[in-house]
Amino acid sequence: MERTLIMLKPDTFDRNLVGVIERMVLERHLFIVKRKDVFLNRWNLLELWPRIHTLWGWLASQQHHVGRRIQVWEIEGENAIGKVNELKISLRATYCNSSNPSDPVEKMRTIIHTPDSAEDFEREKQILFTLPSRLEECNDIDRCARDIP
């Protein structure tokens, strides 16, 4: 059995797509073995995605993710990484038709994030499942930030 994760981004909740995504996961004979609501601060964002190379990407990512509800699911099943990546492609094709493609924040509205490999899963799981579940805790630098690699 393989494991991976799905990070439901804020636009998932804005658009009431949690149930749709859960059904898609179960239809692929995958299991949600763990769920957690989390809140990111800027440091967590850098730790999670250290390869954000442009200023607009960094600013847009902060605006879209920081201090907003995110939910993380740990997924288990046969070929979980491949099935979840296929699910991501299908979701984005159906729900991510941007009305303003030049808006950098619109480019962040991709419904979900999934790791690309087993190594990324392990790294992101360590980050995401240790984050606070309450927004008030996210502003506490000791609870939210670790050394950025």
> Is 6 among the domain residues?
yes
Assigned domain for 12 exists: yes
- CA–CA separation, 74 and 19 (whole Å): 16
Within a domain: residue 116? yes
At 130, is the secondary structure helix, strand, or coil? Answer: coil
pTM of the shown model: 0.80
Q: Identify whether the C-beta of residue 66 lies closer than 8 Å to the C-beta of residue 42.
A: yes
What CATH number does the domain containing 130 carry?
Answer: 3.30.70.141
In this structure, is residue 148 part of a structural domain?
Answer: no
DSSP state of 1: -
Specify the number of domains making up the chain.
Answer: 1
Per-residue pLDDT of the chain (149 residues; tens, 9 = 90+): 999 999 999 889 988 999 999 999 999 999 999 999 988 888 887 788 777 667 767 777 777 788 888 899 999 999 999 999 999 988 888 887 666 556 555 555 678 989 988 999 999 999 888 877 765 555 544 444 443 33
Does the residue 147 lie in any domain? no
Residue 149 is assigned to a structural domain of this protein: no
Beta carbons of 97 and 77 less than 8 angstroms apart: no
Give the domain range for residue 99. 2-141
